Amino acid sequence: MSKFSFRPDKKKNAPSMTRRGALILGLQGALMGGLVWRMRDLQIEAGDEYRMLAEENRINVRLIPPARGEITDSKGRQLAINRQNYRVVIIREEAGDVEAVLDELGRLIEITPRQRSRALREIRSKSAFVPVTVSEHLNWDEFAQINANAPALPGVAPEVGLIRFYPERETLSHIIGYVARVTEKDLTRADAQDSLFQIPDFHIGKTGVERAIEPKLRGNAGASRIEVNAVGRVIREIDRSEGVSGADLGLTIDLDVQRYTMERLGEESAAAVVMDVKNGDIIALASNPAFDPNKFVVGISQKEWDGLLNNKYRPLSNKAVSGLYPPGSTFKMIVALAALEKGVVSPGDRVFCPGKYKLGDRDFHCWNRGGHGHVNLRNALKGSCDVYFYDIARRVGIESIAEMARRFGLGVQHDVSMSAVRSGLIPTKDWKLAYRDQSWLIGDTLNAGIGQGFVLSSPLQLAVMTARMAGNGTQVAPRLIREENGVELIPEEAPSLSVAPQHLRAIRDAMFAVSNERRGTAYKSRIAEAAHAIAGKTGTSQVRRITAAERARGVFKNEDLPWERRDHALFVGFAPYDDPKYAISVIVEHGGGGSKAAAPIARDIMMRVLYQGEPPLTAYPANLRDDIEKQREERRNAKPPTEGERA
């Protein structure tokens, strides 16, 4: 037995409760009690509310932009399409050293300083998991290179989307318009409540058909339900519902005629409209110069924008529908019809033209300083005698002239599914009092009688006017949209013009004389083949007042003036004369006389429509055929532009 043994000291090892222990225990108990009470409150009292909030935080709905509707011409040829857009994005949290990754990416594709700066700015302002576009509109080789080098590019992701593309570029830029990113200004539009406007980098129509038919073209959004974590990072996609693509539109435009019309306008600042006189279909609508709408889709540079904005020929303006000009002598048919309908003149009545018309102590001059002698309605239109129309305008009055003008589509804002369509101006006594705070003068009526003074019209309106004169006695309306999603749109029945048929025949006969009889102002621009004869009217509208001193010196020829001060040249016409099918209007800004500048252009465009291609040489007057053949030979030998040159 051992000498020593262990006996525990029961008194010393017995548990004891100190004040400190009791305090700590009490605090722990209170804390646990509080936690239990809080958990009870969250689970029982507010459980439903927090379960709902948690579910909303967990499931997000993201909009899927629909494919935009495509646009074709009357023969189904593509005018506005969607094509693949190859782009590359970077995600900051996956990239690590963003600057280094961008350097590496820059060895594969070009990243401009502007693109890099914008990408870095967005990266700093957005959450780390949000993709930021570095570059888009890549070609296939660039896109393939990025894919092949993806393992060496952390955080870089190549993506494929859709982007708008206009194959014809300048040819239809004023008709189709263009799309671009939604701006703050766009959010004030009446249709901006559409949730699609909130999608980053979403594109909407800005001009032309793209803007006018925007709601139909953009379609309806789809939706993707995704699961995200507490900070918004995507975990997985739960389900997806695809949107409804925008409507495909078929236009009345004939691409072949449109191309030739733009080509024929050449270097002029000009516009032309061709219409079907029976149903109002717009065959061609050209405004020159134009612009490449694709540059607005991808983002136009400041230098290019300034170049367009400061160009004196106004390439951004659609002169065909928003350009307003004094119609000049093309308005004389309206004055004549008003006088015939009111009974103040008959086709055989004659007026003497000595070269000027005296009103009080003021002389109103005829363009022919020597005068036209005694003229009736037919000869007055054929030779464009101003004095004749001063006289009958004074007798018929401005109110009757204005009423007849509106009946033929002047002073009216036509619904042709394009942006910036203007109504022009047909003045009346009430208009002048309301907007000028002045009483109407007889001199105002005389000026209106020859399409000057306050009268303003667009090339579209003049084409409508001419189509109604050439047609079947109805107020045919211009039409640009032919079909929607393959279904033809049937136009409403046009109301009657309520003009005596014999009066319309008298006007058409006089227009025939203008183009087909010697001393007619457009005789040099006739179509030689009788089956396709064109009837028309030239016009010259002044942009400045010729002073008495200038008349005395004889220095008022257009060639003696700067371009901006020269007269506008106009022509309106229809063909064939015996069975009218098409109407045309042409204006050449500061082109001088209508017979010299506008009529030859109109003749050539009309022949292109009538012959459905290049007309035979026999369609031209004999004295022009050698020159026409030389021009054709030059075009045949000209090297067509490459795709790169066109772009």
**For the segment 609-644, what is each residue's pLDDT rounded down to a tens digit?**
999 999 999 999 999 999 989 888 887 887 555 544
Contact indicator for 533, 575 with CB cutoff of 8 Å: yes
- How far is Cα 494 from Cα 492, in angstroms, rounded to an integer? 6
How far CA 488 is from CA of 76, 175, 481, in Å, comes to 13, 20, 9
For 358, list phi and psi in degrees, rounded to 5: -95, 130
> Which amino acid type is present at position 163?
I
Q: Residue 220's pLDDT band (boundaries 50, 70, 90)?
A: confident
* Helical ranges in 166-239 per DSSP H: 173-176, 208-212, 214-218
State CA 314 to chain mean position distance.
14
| Range name among 213-227, 468-482, 501-515, 525-539 with the lowest pLDDT average | 213-227
As given in the structure block, the two tokens for residue 523 are: 């005789």
Domain boundaries, given as residue ranges, for the chain: 62-251, 255-297+317-637
Task: Identify each DSSP E strand in 494-640 by its residue range.
Answer: 535-541, 568-575, 582-588
pLDDT by residue (tens digit) across 584-593?
999 999 998 8
Q: What is the per-residue pLDDT across 420-432, written as a single tens digit (0 to 9) for each?
A: 999 999 999 999 9
* Digit-coded pLDDT (tens) for 280-313: 999 999 999 999 999 999 888 889 999 999 999 9
The upper half-sphere exposure of residue 353, i.e. CA atoms within 13 Å in the direction of its Cβ, equals 28
CATH numeric code, 255-297+317-637: 3.40.710.10
Please state, in angstroms and as integers, the Cα–Cα distance from residue 189 to each residue in 168, 213, 423, 472, 523, following that order.
Answer: 29, 14, 22, 41, 50
Average pLDDT over residues 341-350: 96
- Note the pLDDT of residue 9: 52
Q: What gap in Å lies between CA 338 and CA 331, rounded to an integer?
A: 11
Task: Quote the mean pLDDT of the chain.
Answer: 87
What's the pLDDT score for residue 222?
78
Q: What is the pLDDT of residue 155?
A: 84
Compute the C-alpha angle 151/155/161, nearest 5°: 95
How far from the centroid of its chain's Cα atoms is residue 97's Cα?
45
Instruction: For the full predicted model, state whether its pTM sits above 0.85.
Output: no
CA distance 349 to 346: 5
The reported pLDDT for the residue numbered 136 is: 82
Strands 59-64, 222-228: pairing kind: antiparallel
Confidence bin at 4 (pLDDT 50/70/90): very low
| Fold match between domain 62-251 and domain 255-297+317-637 | no
What is the reported pLDDT for 613? 92
pLDDT of 385: 97
62-251 topology per CATH: Penicillin-binding protein 2a (Domain 2) (3.90.1310)
Burial (0-12, 13-18, 19+ Cβ within 10 Å), 404: buried
* pLDDT tens digit sequence for 91-112: 888 788 989 999 989 999 999 8
Judge whether residue 148 has pLDDT over 70.
yes
| Residue 607 confidence (pLDDT) | 97
How do residues 385-421 score in pLDDT, each as one tens digit?
Answer: 999 999 999 999 999 999 999 999 999 999 999 999 9
pLDDT band at 50 (very low <50, low <70, confident <90, very high): low
Task: Please report the DSSP string for 52-110 in residue order.
Answer: HHHHHHHEEEEEEPPPPPPEE-TTS-EEEEEEEEEEEEE-HHHHSSHHHHHHHHHTTS-
Q: Is the pLDDT of residue 325 over 90?
A: yes
Q: Which of 187, 197, 250 is nearest to 220 (CA)?
A: 197
> 479, 417 in Cβ contact below 8 A?
no
Q: Can you spell out the DSSP letters for 268-314?
A: S-EEEEEEETTT-BEEEEEEES---THHHHH---HHHHHHHHT-TT-
Q: Which residues pair with 540 in a beta bridge?
A: 569
Q: Residue 6: what pLDDT? A: 47
Amino acid at 48: D
* Most distant pair of Cα atoms in the chain: their distance: 164
* Mean pLDDT, residues 32-55 taken together: 62
pLDDT of residue 543: 78
Q: Give percent of the chain with pLDDT exceeding 90.
A: 60
Categorize the per-residue pLDDT at 170 as very low, low, confident or very high, splitting at 50, 70 and 90.
very high
At a CB cut-off of 8 Å and minimum separation 6, what does 341 contact?
400, 404, 499, 500, 503
CB 278 within 8 A of CB 509: no
pLDDT in tens, 492-515: 889 999 999 999 999 999 999 999
